[in-house]
Every structure is written in C-alpha cells, then in structure tokens.
C-alpha cells in the first residue's frame, strides 16, 4: 500500500489506517480473519482508544493478532485516551499515565507507536500533559504523540509546553462533512459555507506538518449513517457510481479516493469490520482522481462553488 510521512515522526505509515472501534461486534474467529486479512492487504496501522468497547476492543485485537514481539515489530498501534464516558474529559497526568498503562496491558505490548489525546479537555493544564508525555517517552511506552478533534489554538497551547512533535490530529471529515475544506473555498463570502468553524485547522495542520486522520470517512452528520447507497444523496451516489465504473472499482473505493486526492495527504481511519470493504478502501490508494472528478463529486454532495 502507498505510504505517507506521519507528521514529523520520521516514520512511513500506510495511507489507510484500520479503525478497531467495532472489533468487539464480531466473533473471535471473524476478528482473527479480519486482522490477518488487513495485514495481507498491507494495512498494518491499527487505530484504538481506551474507551472503545470499554477497553475490550484492545484486548480482542491483541488476541486476534496473536500478539508476540515478532508480530509487534511489523505493525503500528495507535491508541487514544482522555475520555471518561458520560463523566468528563481528563488530560491530567495521572489519568494519561493510567490510561496508557491499561491500554498496553490489554494490547499485550510494551509500547504504542502513537498516543492521541481523545477530544479536548476544557480543564486541560498543558504542563501536566507535557509531564505525562515526557514520562511516557522516557519509559519507552509511547514513541509519538498527537491529538484528536482539536483546533489550532488548542494545539498551540499544548505546543507551548509539550516538547514532542504532535504528529497527528484526528478529525471528522468526509465528502458530506467537509466544512474544513468548504470554508477555504468561500473566503470573503457572506454565505453559511464561509463560516470558519474550526479556526482554519486544515491549513494549520499542513503548515505545521501534522497529519490529519479523517474519522468516519463515509458518514454524514454525526453518526447519522453512511452516504453511500443512501437515498438522501441521489446525485452524490450517481456521480460516485459513474466514477467508480470508469476505474472499475466500488463506490467505497471512490469515496476513499476522494479524500486521498487532497494534497494534505490525509490518513483516513476506516471503521469497517468487513474485509471486502477494507480491501476496497485499500484499492483507493492506487487511484488518483482528476481535479475535475474531485470537484464533480464535491458538487454532487450539495456543495457549491462561489
């Protein structure tokens, strides 16, 4: 699979990340088949979080991949921490360290390749985050650090104290959830599409070599469902199907290729536990949509050009 630089980490990673949030929804044998199939596809970057399945997703993954030192050397593991479901967000040093230690135990590994802070914490004390990151790096438990769903000001605040490069920012982005792209096209306009909702996070990440990891790349709204094959998006699906026929691939591959065409070099995070669909996502890495095709799909989603 095609690879990209992960921020300023100095490591090359697959341009498609395998999200493991739903691995607890399939059986043991299915999980083993899925993980092995992902590896066969060259998709060896796995995204986790301590809250996925209440921690069970990390344990299921470790068992499914038969975690050993030899296996560990050939995969990338990313996890996230900072959410206490329904209670609070917690970026305290104590919580970060405890969360990472618990994830490592569940994943049966000594280290994470990447740790992301999972959503912003309104009570964040960046000095504590910096202390936690330093401890984890010195102990060899985390090699790279990043954030999730954070805007430029929040990242800059962390960077004032955190010594390590923040290599990734995981953000919701898809053809139908493309506000960060749209506001850049409607500069100096008075329409709703011109509203800057995230502080210009797209250009900020590009300027600072932070890899954007789009999550829910096939969802519309906030987990309202996929737009592919959805009767609410007839024009979009017709255009995607038209382009898919040209390249002899599925609609899934074209929807993913639309994200990969962007020069920011996104690393989309899949959510499927269907190996065939993951294979379609991987095929997207070999497709480069033309500028005209990219814009045609963008417009078919209901977006307009000023």
Active site residues: 52
Q: Parallel, antiparallel, or unpaired for β 3-5 and 12-14?
A: antiparallel
83 beta partners: 89
The alpha helices in the chain, defined as continuous H runs, are 28-40, 56-64, 69-72, 93-107, 126-138, 152-159, 179-185, 201-207, 234-247, 251-260, 275-283, 291-300
Phi–psi pair at 197, nearest 5 degrees: -95, -10
Tell me if 45 sits within 8 A of 18, measured CB to CB.
yes
Instruction: Quickly count: other Cβ atoms within 10 Å of residue 40's Cβ.
Output: 11
> Which is nearest to 83 in space by CA: 101, 96, 69?
96
Dist. CA 91–CA 120, nearest whole Å: 8
């Amino acid at each position: 699979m095609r690879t990209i630089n992960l921020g300023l980490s100095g490591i090359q990673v697959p341009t498609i990340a395998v999200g493991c949030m739903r691995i607890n929804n399939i059986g043991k044998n299915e999980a083993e088949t899925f993980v092995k199939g992902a590896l066969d596809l060259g998709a060896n970057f796995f995204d986790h979080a301590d809250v996925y399945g209440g921690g069970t997703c990390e344990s299921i993954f470790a068992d499914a991949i038969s975690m050993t030192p030899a296996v560990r050397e050939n995969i990338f593991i990313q996890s996230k921490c900072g959410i206490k479901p329904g209670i609070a967000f917690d970026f305290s040093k104590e919580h970060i360290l405890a969360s990472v230690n618990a994830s490592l135990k569940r994943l049966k590994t000594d280290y994470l390749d990447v740790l992301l802070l999972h959503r912003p914490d309104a009570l964040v004390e960046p000095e504590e985050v910096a202390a936690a990151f330093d401890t984890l790096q010195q102990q060899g438990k985390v090699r790279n650090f990043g954030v999730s769903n954070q805007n430029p000001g929040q990242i800059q605040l962390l960077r004032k104290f955190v010594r390590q490069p923040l290599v990734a920012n995981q953000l919701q982005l898809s053809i139908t959830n493309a506000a960060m792209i749209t506001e850049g096209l409607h500069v100096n306009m008075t329409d709703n599409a011109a509203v800057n909702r995230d502080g210009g996070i797209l250009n900020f990440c590009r300027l600072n070599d932070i890899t954007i990891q789009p999550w829910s790349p096939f969802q519309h709204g906030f987990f309202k469902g996929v737009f592919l094959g959805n009767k609410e998006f007839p024009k979009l699906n017709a255009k995607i199907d038209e382009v898919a026929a040209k390249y002899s691939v599925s609609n899934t591959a074209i929807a993913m290729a639309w994200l990969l065409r962007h020069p920011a070099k996104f690393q989309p995070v899949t959510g499927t536990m269907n190996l065939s669909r993951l294979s379609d996502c991987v095929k997207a890495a070999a497709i480069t949509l033309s500028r005209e095709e990219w814009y045609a799909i963008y417009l078919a989603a209901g977006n307009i050009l000023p």
